[in-house]
Amino acid sequence: MARRQIKHNKKKPLIIICSEGGKKSSEYYYFRYYASRDLRIQFSTGNSTDPKGMLEDLLKYINNEDVKSEENCKIFLVLDTDLDEKTNK
């Protein structure tokens, strides 16, 4: 009699990305293409554009989504800067 193989349903690794503008940002369209069968990518919610507000949005998202229970999770806060002197005031 053949042995029955038991599949262990492992969760795919999770990457959480917080970027300026959330799902309306160019970062969203760039990073979403890296999602595959072996990787989950989620974007935190929030529409903050300053680093402090983005971090606060990310922390709220982590607490609301219960990310702490994820075994293999990496979290990134993606910041871009403007090189135009006029916009960096």
Per-residue pLDDT tens digits of the chain, which is 89 residues long: 566 666 656 778 889 888 886 667 788 888 878 777 788 888 887 778 888 998 998 999 888 887 877 888 999 998 877 666 665 55
Give yes or no for a contact between 41 and 31, defined as CB atoms under 8 angstroms apart.
yes
Residue 86 lies in a domain: no
**Containing structural domain, residue 72:** 14-37+45-79
Residue 62 lies in a domain: yes
Residue 28 lies in a domain: yes
Residue 8 lies in a domain: no
Q: pLDDT at position 22, please? A: 65
Residue 18 lies in a domain: yes
Residue with tokens 């072996």: 38
Please give the tally of structural domains in the chain: 1
Q: pLDDT at position 55, please? A: 92
Both tokens of 81, joined, read 């800067």
Residue 51 lies in a domain: yes
Q: pLDDT at position 83, please? A: 67
CA triple 46-71-27, angle to 5 deg = 35
Residue 4 lies in a domain: no
CA triple 35-53-70, angle to 5 deg = 40
